[in-house]
Amino acid sequence: MKKALLIVDMSNDFVDDHGGLTAGKPAQQIVPNIIDLANHFLDENQLVIFAMDAHQPNDRHFEEWPVHNVIGTWGQQLYGELEEWYQKYKQKENVILLPKQQYDAFYGTSLEQILRNKGIQEVHLTGVATDICVFLTASGAYYRGFKTFAHKKGTATFTDQQDLALKHMNTIFKTEIID
C-alpha cells in the first residue's frame, strides 16, 4: 500500500513561542512524534510532504488572522528539529515541501496530482491546527477518494477543539484516528 505522510503547517509561526499564530507547547510536544513518523515513512520508501502556509505580506488572510507564514521569513520556516530533518533529507525524491495558501492543502496546489502520480492510496495527517488546516486537509483527501488517517500524537491546536476535531474527522470524513 502506497502512503503519504502530510506534515501540515509545522512552521515557526505556528509552533515557536514567538510565532505569529502559535499553538505553542502543544505543537512543540508533537515534534518528536512527527519526526518518528517521518523517519518510519522514509525507511519504508513512502512519501513525506510538508504542506506549509505561504502568504504574501498583504494577503487578505491577515484581515482575519495575525500575520503568519509570510514567504521568505523566519516565521515560515519549519520549526526546530523539523527544519533539521528536512534539510537532511530534502534531496530525496520522496520528500517534498509544498506551499499552500488555503487551509486545505489540496486547494489550489498540486498535492492531488503528486499523490496520484506516486500511486498513493493512504494519506496520514499530522501537524497544526487540528481543527482548521488538518481538519480541512482531511476533508480534501476524503473528497478525492484517499483513505485518511490522523495521528493524534502528531496533531495539535491552539483552541480547545482537539478531541472534537478528531472525532468529527472520524465521523464525517471516515478518517481513522491513530493514537
The pLDDT of residue 18 is above 80:
yes
The pLDDT of residue 88 is above 90:
yes
Contacts of 110 (CB under 8 A, 6+ apart): 98
Instruction: Give the mean pLDDT of 19-48.
Output: 97
**What are 148-158's pLDDT values in tens digits?**
999 999 999 99
Instruction: Provide the mean pLDDT of the chain.
Output: 96
pLDDT category at 61 given cuts 50, 70, 90 is confident
pLDDT category at 1 given cuts 50, 70, 90 is confident
Instruction: Give the mean pLDDT of 30-59.
Output: 97
Instruction: Give the mean pLDDT of 80-108.
Output: 97
**What are 64-87's pLDDT values in tens digits?**
999 999 999 999 999 999 999 999
E strands, the chain, are: 3-8, 47-53, 95-100, 122-128, 147-156, 176-178
Rounded CA-CA distance 170/108 in Å is 24
> What's the confidence (pLDDT) of residue 27?
97
- Residue 122 C-alpha cell reads as 493512504
Instruction: Please name which of 33, 30, 9 lies closest in space to residue 21, comparing C-alpha atoms.
Output: 9
Q: What is the DSSP letter of 131?
A: I
Contacts of 131 (CB under 8 A, 6+ apart): 157, 159, 161, 162, 164, 165
Furthest-apart CA atoms within the chain: distance in Å: 42
Domains located in the chain, CATH noted = 3-178 (3.40.50.850)
The pLDDT of residue 128 is above 90:
yes
Report in angstroms the alpha-carbon separations of 82 from 16, 87, 108, 152.
12, 9, 25, 18
> What's the confidence (pLDDT) of residue 114?
97
> For 12-28, b where at least 16 C-beta lie within 10 A, e where not — what string?
bbbbbeebbbbbeebbb
Instruction: Provide the CA 144 distance to its chain's centre, in angstroms.
Output: 17
Q: Are strands 95-100 and 176-178 parallel, antiparallel or unpaired?
A: unpaired
Strand order in the sheet with 3-8: 95-100, 47-53, 3-8, 122-128, 147-156, 176-178
